[in-house]
Amino acid sequence: MKQGNYEKKQQDYAAAMTEMYRGFDAFSGGRFHNTVEHAIKRLIFLTQVNTKHFDTVLNKENREFYRELNARTRFFIRFETSAPKLYAWLQQQFHRG
Protein backbone atom coordinates (compact mmCIF):
# COMPACT_ATOMS: atom_id res chain seq x y z
CA MET A 1 0.00 0.00 0.00
CA LYS A 2 2.87 2.39 0.71
CA GLN A 3 4.53 1.68 -2.60
CA GLY A 4 4.90 4.37 -5.23
CA ASN A 5 3.87 7.89 -4.29
CA TYR A 6 2.01 7.11 -1.07
CA GLU A 7 1.38 10.76 -0.24
CA LYS A 8 -0.22 11.41 -3.63
CA LYS A 9 -2.38 8.30 -3.27
CA GLN A 10 -3.56 9.54 0.13
CA GLN A 11 -4.31 13.01 -1.25
CA ASP A 12 -6.19 11.56 -4.22
CA TYR A 13 -8.24 9.35 -1.88
CA ALA A 14 -9.05 12.31 0.39
CA ALA A 15 -10.05 14.42 -2.63
CA ALA A 16 -12.30 11.66 -4.00
CA MET A 17 -13.94 11.12 -0.59
CA THR A 18 -14.42 14.87 -0.12
CA GLU A 19 -16.13 15.03 -3.50
CA MET A 20 -18.35 12.09 -2.53
CA TYR A 21 -19.26 13.68 0.82
CA ARG A 22 -20.06 17.00 -0.85
CA GLY A 23 -22.14 15.17 -3.46
CA PHE A 24 -24.11 13.54 -0.67
CA ASP A 25 -24.51 16.94 0.99
CA ALA A 26 -25.93 18.39 -2.23
CA PHE A 27 -28.15 15.36 -2.81
CA SER A 28 -29.59 15.63 0.70
CA GLY A 29 -30.26 19.32 0.23
CA GLY A 30 -27.74 20.21 2.93
CA ARG A 31 -29.71 18.38 5.59
CA PHE A 32 -26.52 16.90 7.06
CA HIS A 33 -24.19 19.74 6.09
CA ASN A 34 -22.49 20.15 9.49
CA THR A 35 -21.94 16.41 9.80
CA VAL A 36 -20.54 16.22 6.27
CA GLU A 37 -18.11 19.07 6.89
CA HIS A 38 -17.01 17.47 10.16
CA ALA A 39 -16.41 14.16 8.36
CA ILE A 40 -14.32 15.96 5.72
CA LYS A 41 -12.20 17.62 8.43
CA ARG A 42 -11.65 14.23 10.10
CA LEU A 43 -10.71 12.67 6.75
CA ILE A 44 -8.18 15.41 6.04
CA PHE A 45 -6.77 15.05 9.57
CA LEU A 46 -6.34 11.28 9.15
CA THR A 47 -4.65 11.86 5.80
CA GLN A 48 -2.20 14.16 7.59
CA VAL A 49 -1.56 11.45 10.20
CA ASN A 50 -0.95 8.83 7.48
CA THR A 51 1.49 11.09 5.62
CA LYS A 52 3.25 12.21 8.83
CA HIS A 53 2.41 15.91 8.58
CA PHE A 54 2.57 16.14 12.34
CA ASP A 55 2.80 19.93 12.42
CA THR A 56 -0.79 19.98 11.16
CA VAL A 57 -1.86 16.98 13.24
CA LEU A 58 -0.75 18.70 16.45
CA ASN A 59 -2.50 22.02 15.72
CA LYS A 60 -5.04 23.09 18.32
CA GLU A 61 -7.89 23.04 15.82
CA ASN A 62 -7.31 19.29 15.38
CA ARG A 63 -7.36 18.49 19.10
CA GLU A 64 -10.73 16.70 18.90
CA PHE A 65 -9.52 14.38 16.16
CA TYR A 66 -6.13 13.88 17.83
CA ARG A 67 -7.87 12.68 20.98
CA GLU A 68 -9.77 10.11 18.91
CA LEU A 69 -6.49 8.42 17.98
CA ASN A 70 -5.52 5.45 20.10
CA ALA A 71 -2.87 5.89 22.79
CA ARG A 72 -0.24 3.99 20.79
CA THR A 73 -0.58 6.25 17.76
CA ARG A 74 -0.50 9.40 19.92
CA PHE A 75 2.60 8.08 21.71
CA PHE A 76 4.49 7.47 18.47
CA ILE A 77 3.51 10.85 17.01
CA ARG A 78 4.79 12.60 20.16
CA PHE A 79 7.91 10.44 20.23
CA GLU A 80 8.76 11.09 16.59
CA THR A 81 8.20 14.85 16.90
CA SER A 82 10.02 15.31 20.20
CA ALA A 83 13.04 13.06 19.53
CA PRO A 84 13.29 12.61 15.75
CA LYS A 85 16.92 11.42 15.72
CA LEU A 86 16.33 8.83 18.42
CA TYR A 87 13.12 7.72 16.68
CA ALA A 88 14.93 7.35 13.34
CA TRP A 89 17.76 5.40 14.98
CA LEU A 90 15.34 3.04 16.71
CA GLN A 91 13.44 2.54 13.45
CA GLN A 92 16.72 1.69 11.76
CA GLN A 93 17.61 -0.80 14.51
CA PHE A 94 14.19 -2.39 14.39
CA HIS A 95 14.18 -2.86 10.62
CA ARG A 96 17.74 -4.13 10.59
CA GLY A 97 17.14 -7.10 12.84
Task: Read off the pLDDT of residues 6-60 as tens digits, 9 standing for 90 and up.
Answer: 999 999 999 999 999 999 999 999 999 999 999 999 999 999 999 999 999 999 9
pLDDT of 90: 95
Which tens digits make up the pLDDT trace of 73-91? 999 999 999 999 999 999 9
Tell me if residue 53 falls in helix, strand or coil: coil
Residues with Cβ < 8 Å from 90, sequence gap 6 or more?
A: none
Q: What is the pTM of this model?
A: 0.88
Cβ contact 36:21 at 8 Å: yes
pLDDT of 26: 98
Given a cut of 90, is residue 95 above it in pLDDT? no
pLDDT of 79: 97
